[in-house]
């Protein structure tokens, strides 16, 4: 409410007691401009400092290294176009000189005497299995935990609080440390990656799941409660049918993320396609690198497309709204 006290500049009331819209608008606009300017200035200063810091602490300076930006393209030119396919399917190369660089058949994984799986396809399957298995584990445990973290289903505050904090820690704990710890126990192999990605997935899916559960329609739950259903029956018949599509959608989204995560963990020693990619790039095996990038790229595109298609079928366009 505006008081009609005359000559109050703070309320933009002039000497005659009229509200002066124009001056108020101008003042608000200049205030907003000032805030925008301050915000941008802070952002700019932070950016400037960050860039300077990154350049200072980098092993090569940005401008010195810029001409080398596309060095890797030169490293990746194969000797002929067929080399990539030979590397991908482990066929013998005409350039074979005894070195590892052109020794494609060496990596073959034989199933029977004559039938083999090409190395990189096998490794890709390994990475995919890491991702699928850890998504599955994350889904199962996230599913079990999320109802305990939802405020509409769990009335005990301490239980909800504990479960939420556990999920948060599982989500935020750096995957690389879990992987490194289990690498020390199991030595090299994919199991540490499975454990690391699973633990992160439990936390991430658990958080998304309980938010879905909290938004669920409670009418079926009330009905079951009135009919004398116990807690598990209420959850299973009242809540689960309405939230399952969203759960599946989130799990598929997680699968996309987990394929990438298990590739990266592979590069630090946890097996799969990431490891061979890192080795191949550092050794400068151009055809092998190209073959791996080809298979990795196409797998990621396929997984993304498949997941997008399935999500669209499960929950419709809602799957692509922000927050997913």
Partner 1 sequence: MNASAMNLSAKMLSPADVLAIKERHPAAFERSLVKRFSVVLCVAVVALYAVYVSWFFAIGKVVSEGNWDIAGTYLADWVSYEVRPDIDFRTGEIVVEFPKFSPLGSNPDPEWITTKSGTVTVKEKSNDDMTQSKPVSSGSFMAPDASSGGAELSFMAPSSTATNMGSNEASSKARDSNLVSTQKEGINQAEIVFSKTAQIIVTPSVVTLVNGAESVVLDVDPLDETVEARGALPEWALQKREGEKIFVNYGFAGRAEVRAKEVKIMRRFFGWENFFFDTNSHYWGKPFSEVASLAISGERIFEGRSNVSLMLDNFLNNAEWQHGDVYIKLLQTIVMAFVGTLFAVVIAFPLSFVAARNITPNRFLNQIFKRFFDFLRSVDMLIWALFFTRAFGPGPLAGISAIFFTDTGTFGKLYSEALENIDDKQREGVRSVGASPAAVQRFGVVPQVLPVFASQALYFWESNTRSATIIGAVGAGGIGLKLWEAMRTNQDWENVFYMVILILIVIFVFDSASNALRSRLIGKQQS
Q: Of 91, 117, 218, 268, which one interacts with partner 1 (CB under 8 A)?
A: 268
Q: Are 7 and 15 in contact (CB under 8 A)?
A: yes
Q: How far is the CB of 95 from partner 1 (least distance, A)?
A: 23
Site string for partner 1, 64-103 (x = CB under 8 A): -x--xxxxx--x----------------------------
Q: Of 144, 301, 306, 309, which one interacts with partner 1 (CB under 8 A)?
A: 301
SS (HEC) of 217-273: CCHHHHHHHHCCCCHHHHHHHHHHHHHHHHHHHHHHHHHHHHHHHHHHHHHHHHCCH
Q: How many residues bind partner 1 (CB under 8 A)?
A: 65
CB nearer to partner 1: give 62 or 82: 62
Q: Under the criterion CB under 8 A, does residue 29 sit at the interface with partner 1?
A: no
Q: Kindly give, in sequence order, each residue whose CB lies less than 8 Å from that of residue 170, ignoring residues fewer than 6 positions away.
A: 199, 200, 202, 203, 206
Q: Under the criterion CB under 8 A, does residue 261 sit at the interface with partner 1?
A: yes
Site string for partner 1, 182-221 (x = CB under 8 A): -xxxxx-xxx--x----------------x----------
Q: Under the criterion CB under 8 A, does residue 55 sit at the interface with partner 1?
A: yes
Q: How far is the CB of 291 from partner 1 (least distance, A)?
A: 13
Report the candidate in 182, 193, 198 with the shortest Cα–Cα distance to residue 262: 193
Map tokens 């997008």 to a residue: 308
Q: Is the dihedral of CA 14, 18, 19, 25 positive or negative?
A: negative
**Phi, then psi, of 323 in degrees rounded to 5:** 110, -20
Q: Kindly give, in sequence order, each residue whose CB lies less than 8 Å from that of residue 210, ignoring residues fewer than 6 positions away.
A: 145, 146, 147, 149, 150, 164, 167
Report the candidate in 309, 295, 297 with the shortest Cα–Cα distance to residue 89: 295
Q: How far is the CB of 190 from partner 1 (least distance, A)?
A: 6
CB nearer to partner 1: give 13 or 178: 178
Stretch that binds partner 1, among 22-30, 61-69, 95-103, 109-117 (CB under 8 A): 61-69
Cβ atoms within 10 Å, residue 160: 17
CB nearer to partner 1: give 102 or 210: 210
Q: Under the criterion CB under 8 A, does residue 111 sit at the interface with partner 1?
A: no
Q: Under the criterion CB under 8 A, does residue 37 sit at the interface with partner 1?
A: no
Q: Is 203 helix (H, G, I), strand (E, B) or coil?
A: helix
Site string for partner 1, 1-20 (x = CB under 8 A): --------------------
The Cα-based distances of 288 to 23, 76, 282, 291, 294 in angstroms read 69, 9, 11, 5, 10
Where does this chain bind partner 1 (CB under 8 A)?
A: 43, 46-47, 50-51, 53-55, 57-60, 62, 65, 68-72, 75, 126, 129, 132-133, 136, 168-169, 172-177, 180-181, 183-187, 189-191, 194, 211, 260-261, 263-265, 267-268, 274, 277-278, 281, 293, 296-297, 300-301, 304, 320, 322-323
């Amino acid at each position: 409410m505006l008081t009609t006290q005359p000559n109050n500049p703070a309320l933009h009331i002039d000497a005659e007691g009229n509200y002066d819209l124009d001056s108020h608008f101008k003042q608000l606009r200049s205030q907003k401009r000032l805030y925008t300017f301050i915000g941008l200035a802070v952002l700019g200063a932070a950016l400037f400092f960050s860039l300077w810091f990154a350049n200072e602490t980098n092993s090569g300076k940005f401008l010195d290294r810029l001409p080398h930006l596309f060095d890797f393209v030169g490293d990746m030119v194969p000797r002929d176009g067929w080399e990539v396919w030979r590397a991908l399917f482990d066929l013998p190369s005409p350039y074979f000189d005894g070195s590892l660089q052109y020794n494609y058949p060496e990596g073959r994984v034989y199933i029977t005497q004559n039938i083999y799986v090409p190395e990189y396809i096998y490794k890709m399957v390994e990475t995919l299995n890491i991702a699928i298995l850890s998504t599955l584990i994350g889904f199962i445990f996230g599913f079990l935990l999320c109802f305990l973290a939802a405020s509409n289903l769990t009335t005990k505050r301490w239980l909800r609080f504990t479960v939420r904090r556990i999920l948060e820690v599982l989500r935020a704990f750096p995957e690389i440390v879990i992987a490194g710890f289990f690498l020390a126990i199991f030595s090299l192999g994919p199991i540490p990656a499975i454990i690391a990605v699973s633990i992160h997935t439990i936390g991430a899916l658990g958080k998304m799941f309980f938010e879905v559960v909290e938004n669920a329609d409670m009418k079926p739950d009330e009905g079951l409660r009135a009919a004398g259903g116990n807690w598990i029956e209420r959850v299973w018949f009242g809540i689960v049918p309405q939230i399952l599509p969203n759960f599946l959608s989130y799990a598929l989204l997680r699968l996309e993320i987990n394929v990438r995560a298990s590739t990266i963990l592979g590069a630090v020693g946890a097996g799969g396609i990431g490891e061979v990619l890192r080795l191949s790039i550092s050794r400068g095996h151009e055809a092998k690198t190209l073959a791996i990038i080809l298979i990795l790229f196409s797998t990621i595109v396929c997984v993304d497309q498949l997941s997008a298609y399935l999500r669209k079928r499960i929950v419709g366009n809602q799957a692509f709204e922000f927050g997913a």
